[in-house]
């Protein structure tokens, strides 16, 4: 008999037996794993484990999980109000148990109804399940509160960026000081744009926050889903962002040169321009190159006087309105109306209305690319040469655009730039000039040239690496090429019916 007993194979102990816990406890703990945190599944598990009908109700009486049960509403109210922690009673052939489930902001009730009386095992299962449900509800509420806090913080960072974009540095500093003391204390900063797939953008933004150690303004770009904008006066931020880009494939970084906070919009444009270069570099990063810009080749005093005179009609409105019109127009000339609206936090109709008002006041037409380029030059002169201050009156009459762009230095620059296109066997220069004159419309340019619209687009696209400028996306690069054509007399000067009188003055 002894030998026979030794040969009997005993079953392997369960996980619960090895740990001294019953099997149902192990099953219940499994619901705390990240993949199993579902209150409805736990309630269903409880019903199957104790062979009962189960209902989880909130303070209003709404069913959260389980099945509807007929309960003593006075007892339910006593539990959800916190007056009692639990209750047990019999209702005919049913045996019921009601358990309070604590919650940070309210109390819920877990009701269990079964045909058989509650034994010790079933009572323990119900009590422990209530504790697990309470943990999950608390964790869910904490996660939701954290998400709300992160969303509010992101909205504030976007608001600060929008204030910087319209040159309201005082308000931007005031908002930032309460949450991120010292963030915008410096007079200058660099702007960076980190690009990834839109699906990875939220995670990338969090990594940018961690990498910069809260020493930068990190904003999910409101206009482009794959972009994260970073503004920081700290030199170390550039290195942190480069390390971040190195760790992730298909992630690129463009950075501006250091600019005053009032020129954040200019720095942002530089970062976007550098980003286009970064996509073709092995290290996936690029900083905006300070190349020769046409306005740098013009007499600064003459340029200031001309810009002040061109923009003088805007002096007729209040300072606040003028600032809105100038900021919106400056961004609207760089980006589409939709993206400008997202950056500024206004509607696209507001953007269009403001730009149309500027068109009317200046007496010009922004459908004319040359007019856009000239106004862009005036607006950037106001910022770059006058540090955001309005130009004063000049003792002598300011020269016109013709005088500014016809100087030897500007003409030499223009010839050197556009002559690059002559090295190609295709008529890139002729196509580009016609395309600009046609309002950068490929179909209209194709009709003039007698070619297919796709040929025009291919020629323009081929001109971009030769000129080292983005042309298909309206902005500073395109406007510089337009000014080069104006300097060489390849395009007619735009019309301004405002106070810039003589046709020879442009």
* Residue listed under structure tokens 């003593």: 72
Is residue 482 within 8 A of residue 496, CB to CB? The reply is no
**Span 452-479, pLDDT tens digits:** 999 999 999 999 888 888 888 778 889 9
288 phi, psi to nearest 5 deg: -55, 130
Rounded mean pLDDT of 367-384? 89
pLDDT at 252: 94
485: pLDDT strictly greater than 80: yes
9: pLDDT strictly greater than 70: no
Which secondary structure element, helix H or strand E, spans residue 189, and what is its range? strand 188-195
Instruction: Supply 230's token pair.
Output: 């970073």
61: pLDDT strictly greater than 90: no
Q: In what order do the strands lie in the sheet with 108-114?
A: 63-66, 53-57, 108-114, 94-101, 86-91
Handedness of CA 439, 499, 374, 270 (dihedral sign): negative
Facing residues of 97 across strands? Answer: 88, 112
Rg (CA), the chain: 34
Residues 6+ apart with CB under 8 A from 150: none
386: pLDDT strictly greater than 60: no
15: pLDDT strictly greater than 50: no
- Measured CA to CA in angstroms, residue 100 lies from 84, 85, 447 at distances of 8, 5, 78
Residues listed for the chain: 506
Is residue 463 within 8 A of residue 417, CB to CB? The reply is no
11: pLDDT strictly greater than 60: no
176 phi, psi to nearest 5 deg: -70, -30
Is the pTM value of this prediction over 0.85?
Answer: no
How far apart are alpha carbons 197 and 118 in whole angstroms? 56
**Span 100-136, pLDDT tens digits:** 887 667 788 888 888 888 888 888 888 888 888 888 8
Which secondary structure element, helix H or strand E, spans residue 114, and what is its range? strand 108-114
How far apart are alpha carbons 34 and 231 in whole angstroms? 36
Task: Specify the long-range contacts of residues 114-120, CB closer than 8 Å, at least 24 apart.
Answer: 114/50, 114/51, 114/52, 114/53, 115/51, 116/51, 118/88
Quick one: residue 182, left, alpha or beta (phi over 0 = left, psi -120 to 50 = alpha)? left
Is residue 110 within 8 A of residue 39, CB to CB? The reply is no
How far apart are alpha carbons 320 and 165 in whole angstroms? 15
**Span 238-267, pLDDT tens digits:** 999 999 999 998 999 999 999 999 889 889
Instruction: Supply 365's token pair.
Output: 């037409």
Rounded mean pLDDT of 407-411? 91
Q: Which range, of 52-56, 142-146, 335-339, averages the lowest pLDDT?
A: 142-146
Handedness of CA 77, 80, 84, 85 (dihedral sign): positive
How far apart are alpha carbons 166 and 340 in whole angstroms? 11
Is residue 59 within 8 A of residue 137, CB to CB? The reply is no
């Amino acid at each position: 008999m002894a030998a026979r007993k030794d040969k009997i194979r005993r079953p392997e102990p369960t996980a619960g037996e090895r740990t001294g816990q019953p099997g149902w406890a192990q099953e219940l703990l499994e619901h705390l794993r990240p993949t199993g945190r579902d209150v409805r599944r736990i309630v269903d598990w409880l019903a199957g484990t104790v062979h009962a009908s189960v209902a989880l109700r909130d303070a209003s009486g709404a069913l959260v999980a389980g099945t509807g049960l007929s309960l003593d509403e006075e007892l339910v109210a006593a539990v959800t109000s916190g007056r009692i922690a639990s209750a047990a009673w019999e209702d005919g052939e049913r045996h019921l148990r009601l358990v309070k489930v604590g919650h940070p902001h309210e109390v819920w009730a877990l009701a269990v109804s079964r045909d058989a009386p509650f034994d010790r095992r079933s009572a323990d299962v119900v009590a422990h399940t209530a504790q697990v449900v309470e943990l999950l509800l608390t964790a869910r509420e904490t996660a939701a509160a954290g998400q709300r806090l992160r969303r509010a913080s992101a909205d504030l960072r976007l608001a600060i960026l929008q204030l910087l974009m319209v040159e309201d540095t005082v308000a931007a500093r005031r908002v930032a000081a309460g949450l991120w003391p010292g963030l915008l204390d410096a007079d200058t900063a660099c702007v960076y744009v980190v690009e990834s797939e839109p699906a990875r953008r939220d995670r990338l933004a969090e990594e940018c926050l961690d990498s910069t150690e809260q020493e930068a303004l990190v904003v999910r770009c409101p206009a482009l889903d794959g972009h994260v904008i970073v503004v920081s006066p700290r030199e170390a931020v550039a290195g942190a962002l480069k390390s971040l880009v190195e760790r992730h494939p298909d992630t690129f970084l463009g950075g501006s040169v250091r600019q005053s906070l009032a020129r954040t919009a200019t720095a942002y444009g530089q970062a976007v321009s550098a980003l286009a270069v970064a996509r073709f570099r092995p290290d996936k990063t690029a900083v905006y190159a300070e190349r020769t810009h046409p306005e740098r080749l013009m007499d600064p005093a003459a340029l200031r006087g001309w810009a002040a005179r061109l923009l003088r009609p805007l002096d007729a409105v209040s300072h606040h309105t003028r600032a809105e019109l100038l900021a919106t127009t400056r961004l609207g000339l760089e980006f589409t109306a939709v993206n400008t609206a997202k950056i500024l936090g206004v509607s696209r109709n507001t953007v269009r209305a403001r730009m149309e008002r500027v068109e009317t006041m200046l007496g010009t037409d922004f459908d004319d690319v040359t007019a856009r380029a000239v106004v862009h030059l005036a607006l950037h002169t106001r910022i770059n040469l006058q540090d955001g201050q309005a130009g004063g009156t000049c003792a002598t009459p300011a020269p016109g655009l013709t005088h500014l762009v016809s100087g030897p230095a500007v003409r030499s620059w223009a010839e050197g730039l556009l002559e690059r296109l002559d090295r190609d066997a295709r008529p890139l220069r002729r196509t580009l000039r016609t395309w600009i004159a046609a309002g950068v419309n490929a179909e209209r340019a194709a009709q003039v040239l007698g070619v297919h619209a796709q040929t025009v687009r291919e020629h323009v696209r081929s001109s971009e690496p030769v000129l080292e400028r983005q042309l298909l996306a309206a902005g500073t690069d395109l406007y510089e090429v337009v000014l080069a054509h104006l300097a060489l007399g390849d395009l007619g000067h735009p019309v301004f019916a405002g106070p810039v009188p003589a046709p020879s003055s442009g």
